[in-house]
Amino acid sequence: MTALPSQTSRPDLAALILRVALGILFLAHGGLKLFVFTPAGTAGFFQSLGLPGPLAYLIIALEILGGIALIAGYRTRIVSLVLIPVLLGAIVTVHFAAGFFFSNANGGWEFPAFWIVALVVQALLGDGAASLGRKLT
């Protein structure tokens, strides 16, 4: 990653702040599934929803690797778009039935929907300042 130049634009800073925040959130949620719920436990939960258990391993990998890529600013546009179906799946399979508000029992769909909006904005903004992607181009 590169240091922030003195003439960094506001959109570059906005992209940096958003992608690091999103990256931390995805990394935290992937880490939760890996270290707290465990991959086997997450697979069991997926199966209880009628999803294939092995899908849990893909989701854990996408959240962890996607989080790292966002924090580093590597292929930010692609990573942001790839993570959207993960959140759509969470809405459809878990959160939609709980209603809109995330404070509802079992969490509503407002929080993952907002993440989707943030990912779309990130995809439009691109890597931003201090990114590995900018360093490599």
3-state secondary structure 25-70: HHHHHHHHHHHHCCHHHHHHHHHHCCCCCCHHHHHHHHHHHHHHHH
Per-residue confidence (pLDDT) for residue 8, from 0 to 100: 73
* CA–CA dist 43, 56 (Å, integer): 5
Domain ranges of the chain: 11-131
Say which residue the tokens 């003195």 belong to. 6
Q: What is the pLDDT along the chain (137 residues), one digit of tens a residue?
A: 555 556 678 899 999 999 999 999 999 999 999 999 999 999 999 999 999 999 999 999 999 999 999 999 999 999 999 999 999 999 999 999 999 999 999 899 999 999 999 999 999 999 988 899 888 86
| Whether the predicted model's global pTM rises above the 0.85 cut | yes
Per-residue confidence (pLDDT) for residue 115, from 0 to 100: 98
Q: Which two tokens stand for residue 45?
A: 């939960």
- Is residue 130 within 8 Å of residue 17, measured between CB atoms? no
* CA–CA dist 19, 22 (Å, integer): 5
* CA–CA dist 1, 132 (Å, integer): 5
